[in-house]
Structure 1
Amino acid sequence: MISKDHIIKRFVSYVTVDTQSDPNSKSTPSTKKQWDLANKLADELKTIGMQDVSIDENAYIMATLPSNVDHKVPTIGFIAHFDTSPDFTATNVKPQIIEYYDGKDIVLNAEQDIVLSPDYFEDLHLYKGQTLITTDGTTLLGADDKAGICEIVSAMEYLILHPEIKHGTIRVGFTPDEEIGRGAHKFDVKKFGADWAYTMDGSQIGELEYENFNAAGVVVKVKGKIVHPGYAKGKMINSMYIAQEFINSLPRMETPEHTEGYEGFFHLCSIKGEVDETQLEYIIRDHDRGHFEARKEVMKKLTEELNAQYDREVITTEIKDQYYNMKEKVEPVMHIVDIAEEAMKQLHIKPLIKAIRGGTDGSQLSYMGLPCPNIFAGGHNFHGRYEYVPVESMIKATEVICKIAELTAKKA
């Protein structure tokens, strides 16, 4: 039985280390403070008895739990990231432990009147009677993805202490900079040496995901002409008005706030505008590859039409693909999803198989040759002050890791 107190102590020791990543940095990891937890994790893996523990010049951590069976078993991996999102402060995290949650409002910060309420965050109703770890309302928590880190380390420790659980070789990988889209960029798949892996980076207990968005980033630059406004008739071209035409020409209801499930979208992330030049930054998302390509064509066609309308190049549009739907790479090896699903069922967890409305390191890794579905880590309300994680969900995720290892050995 995995100790609740042990899980809490380990998790708290991780989230109180600030590891926020920085999208404006060109280094890897993008912030020096990520090294604080990276070095701690490498030491901890050695302490619990993992073999071949390494940490490279970019803070990527790998370790091995050797097989304890005498027959050939596929090498599997478990991966999580130790950085936290730049969306909200992660400095001076003060976790709060809520024992036997009563199903009512949780006052995170009385002084600032910050309340975590089930009236707004309905998922809280799922965890009545359980132990929750929350923020103090002034920072994020970091369960994304330090819950995943905690679960993997705890599972490896449990397997080491319980050799009666038979398993093949298991590889562990911890990455920096996932939150800024670079977690897999310098991951050495060949060195990792697994046949397949799982990221422990989902949310609600039971989540099992092998589909994600196809993704592209778009930069639209609009050129105008600045002339003294008192003498501008027939001469001034206000780039912000042309940019507004571009914005209004895209499907208004195909935006994040109007879509769900498998529906894709165009998302305007930022506008920087003056008369002379305006820049728009978009992201394009769609689960269907054909629809994804069609969305890119819509933006290209709109650019051509506006340039023709103004009889000169007033708009340039740069589109860069970011990642693709890992479904294409996982479906040919669906047994790896089946094993995870069976593990959950044997532990009396209802599998929630759904598509990710986002990306994951697993997507990039799948296209790098390491098929990598995503499994729940247990947290909710990521990237903000209302983030929380039920301890019981972390324990169950730890048990799922152990069960996957056991089932893989049995099925070999």
Structure 2
Amino acid sequence: MSSVLDRFLRYVRIDTQSDPHSESFPSTSKQRDLSNLLVTELQELGIRDAHLDEHGYVYATIPATSEKAGIPVICFCSHVDTSPDVSGANVKPIVHRNWDGADIVLPDDPSQVLRISELHDLDQQIGNDIVTASGSTLLGADNKAGVAEIMAAADYLMSHKDIRHGVIKILFTPDEEVGRGTEKVDLLKLGAEYGYTVDGEAVGTLEDETFSADGLRITIYGVSTHPGYGKGKLENALKIGADILASLPKTALSPETTEEKEGFIHPVFMEGIQEKATLDFIIRDFTEVGLKEKEELLKNITETVLKQYPGSTAEIKLTEQYRNMKKILDQHPQVIGNALEAMERVGLNPVQRSIRGGTDGSRLSFMGLPCPNIFAGEHAFHSRLEWVSVQDMEKAVEVIVSLCQVWEEKA
């Protein structure tokens, strides 16, 4: 199982950043660079049906080694793209061997420092090998740690035919970071009954609940005129947009003021000219009721601001993004139970918890593939301080292999 680090270091050097403003699918063609490599490596392992489809999805099948009938087909899934929030080009991974707990100063930008006092779970890694980027980019552990772990597990299973398991499916998706990771997936071709995304954080965690999520776009139509003669006439759409942003709650309902089961309203994009401006928001909550309350609040803020600009109007477009997967997973307790047992078998004390975010598993669950999220060891994702522990990645590989055995034994 030692191949997981080598694979990870190879994968993160490939720029696979997705683009939320692209209309193509995948949103960036460079995601295929990694996907093509994964197909080649899977085929070299002897997985003959591994292929990249026209939409940028990698599908592969590890054949069963058990003759037992009725073993459910399970799938392991990770995404190849990295976040648009921080550059993913020219990643230079650094392995900090046998880390002693001292601050880790990233060499390409010494202002980027990993400190135990500031980063969640870092204090659990003393003596382990920590992988970071160099300070000018993200690392890409989200989700190339998961990709490397699935690949290392596939390598292990293909070279240890004595391990009894059923048919195992592998799925690598594009564009998860821009909310489109399952848009063109072919579940009929995949042929799995249950799935697991490998895209979680701390070692031993199993996430069975996500936010419910919507996107909301406000398009503002102001009144444009020559600024030299604009008195009493000009209504600047950019200023209207700024007033809407300034009217959001200052001490609540934002990512920077919420935690645990609290939802938020989060502006993510603004552009425009004085005649027309666009504001994009993401709305998050664990309940449908909470989601709708926040959307109504944002609509009311917009209406209140527009009363100050009688010549201007606004259009509001709401787009459903994903829903809390717990609603589906509660109907399939064996999916959770088997994963918890697999973690216990490799010496972990598993922790079930919620994600303040979403995964491909959210949509896959509602599409008919119940799919909780297993830890991948990634931390501080979407930032230049992103890190992962080699030992955590190796433990994730053990869990994947163990999980395949649990399903076979319980069939």
1:90 alignment partner, one of 64, 77, 88: 88
Query: How far, CA to CA, are the matches of 1:17 and 1:309 in structure 2?
Result: 50
Q: 2:402: which partner in 1?
A: 403
Q: Which amino acid aligns with 1:175?
A: T
- Larger CA deviation: 266-275 vs 19-28: 266-275
Q: Which amino acid aligns with 1:26?
A: E
Query: How far, CA to CA, are the matches of 1:330 and 1:228 in structure 2?
Result: 58
How far does residue 345 in structure 1 lie from its aligned partner after superposition?
1.7
Query: How far, CA to CA, are the matches of 2:276 and 2:29 in structure 1?
Result: 35
Q: Is the 8 A contact 2:109 2:134 kept in 1?
A: no
Q: 1:256: which partner in 2?
A: 255
Query: How far, CA to CA, are the matches of 2:85 and 2:138 in structure 1?
Result: 9
Query: Over residues 303-360 of structure 1, what are the superposed CA-to-partner deviations in whole Å (9 max), with x where a residue is unaligned?
Result: 4555667666622211111111111111111210111111112222122221111121
1:210 counterpart SS class = strand
Q: Is the 8 A contact 1:240 1:278 kept in 2?
A: yes
- Larger CA deviation: 112-121 vs 256-265: 112-121
How far does residue 274 in structure 1 lie from its aligned partner after superposition?
4.8
How far does residue 363 in structure 1 lie from its aligned partner after superposition?
0.8
Query: Over residues 203-228 of structure 1, what are the superposed CA-to-partner deviations in whole Å (9 max), with x where a residue is unaligned?
Result: 11122112111111111123332345
Query: Over residues 260-299 of structure 1, what are the superposed CA-to-partner deviations in whole Å (9 max), with x where a residue is unaligned?
Result: 1111111122333554333322111111112112222333
The alignment status of 1:14 with 2:11, answered yes or no, reads: yes
2:399 counterpart SS class = helix
Judged with a 3 Å threshold, the aligned counterparts in structure 2 of structure 1 residues 196 and 134 are, in CA distance, closer, same or farther, namely same
Q: Is the 8 A contact 1:303 1:316 kept in 2?
A: no
How far does residue 239 in structure 1 lie from its aligned partner after superposition?
3.8
Structure 1 gap ranges (5+): none
Query: Over residues 237-260 of structure 1, what are the superposed CA-to-partner deviations in whole Å (9 max), with x where a residue is unaligned?
Result: 344554455345544311111111
Query: How far, CA to CA, are the matches of 1:111 and 1:63 in structure 2?
Result: 40
Query: How far, CA to CA, are the matches of 2:135 and 2:289 in structure 1?
Result: 42
1:332 counterpart SS class = coil
Query: How far, CA to CA, are the matches of 2:28 and 2:240 in structure 1?
Result: 38
Query: How far, CA to CA, are the matches of 1:235 and 1:287 in structure 2?
Result: 44
The alignment status of 1:34 with 2:43, answered yes or no, reads: no
Q: 2:206: which partner in 1?
A: 208
Q: Which amino acid aligns with 2:46?
A: G
The alignment status of 1:379 with 2:378, answered yes or no, reads: yes
Query: How far, CA to CA, are the matches of 2:120 and 2:367 in structure 1?
Result: 38
Query: How far, CA to CA, are the matches of 2:311 and 2:407 in structure 1?
Result: 61
Query: How far, CA to CA, are the matches of 2:115 and 2:157 in structure 1?
Result: 38
Q: 1:57: which partner in 2?
A: 54
1:401 counterpart SS class = helix
For 1:111-122, what aligned pairs fall within 5 Å after superposition?
Answer: 112=110, 114-122=112-120
User: How many residues are aligned here?
Assistant: 409
How far does residue 53 in structure 1 lie from its aligned partner after superposition?
1.5
1:366 counterpart SS class = helix
The alignment status of 1:123 with 2:147, answered yes or no, reads: no
For 1:58-73, what aligned pairs fall within 5 Å after superposition?
Answer: 58-71=55-68, 72-73=70-71
Q: Is the 8 A contact 1:108 1:136 kept in 2?
A: yes
Structure 2 gap ranges (5+): none
Query: How far, CA to CA, are the matches of 2:25 and 2:225 in structure 1?
Result: 44
Query: How far, CA to CA, are the matches of 1:80 and 1:251 in structure 2?
Result: 35
The alignment status of 1:314 with 2:291, answered yes or no, reads: no
The alignment status of 1:190 with 2:188, answered yes or no, reads: yes
Q: Which amino acid aligns with 2:36?
A: N
Q: Which amino acid aligns with 1:101?
A: W
For 1:169-184, what aligned pairs fall within 5 Å after superposition?
Answer: 169-184=167-182
Q: Which amino acid aligns with 1:215?
A: A
Q: Is the 8 A contact 2:108 2:136 kept in 1?
A: no
Query: How far, CA to CA, are the matches of 2:335 and 2:127 in structure 1?
Result: 33
Judged with a 3 Å threshold, the aligned counterparts in structure 2 of structure 1 residues 263 and 114 are, in CA distance, closer, same or farther, namely closer
Judged with a 3 Å threshold, the aligned counterparts in structure 2 of structure 1 residues 242 and 96 are, in CA distance, closer, same or farther, namely closer
Q: Which amino acid aligns with 2:55?
A: N
1:167 alignment partner, one of 161, 165, 168: 165
Q: 1:298: which partner in 2?
A: 297
TM-score of the superposed pair, with normalisation by structure 1: 0.92
How far does residue 141 in structure 1 lie from its aligned partner after superposition?
1.3
Indicate the RMSD between aligned Cα atoms, in angstroms: 2.2
Q: Which amino acid aligns with 1:100?
A: N
Over the matched positions of the two proteins, sequence identity in percent amounts to 44
Q: 1:44: which partner in 2?
A: 41
Q: Is the 8 A contact 2:223 2:312 kept in 1?
A: no
Judged with a 3 Å threshold, the aligned counterparts in structure 2 of structure 1 residues 165 and 244 are, in CA distance, closer, same or farther, namely same
How far does residue 156 in structure 1 lie from its aligned partner after superposition?
1.6
TM-score of the superposed pair, with normalisation by structure 2: 0.93
Q: Which amino acid aligns with 1:383?
A: H
2:214 counterpart SS class = strand
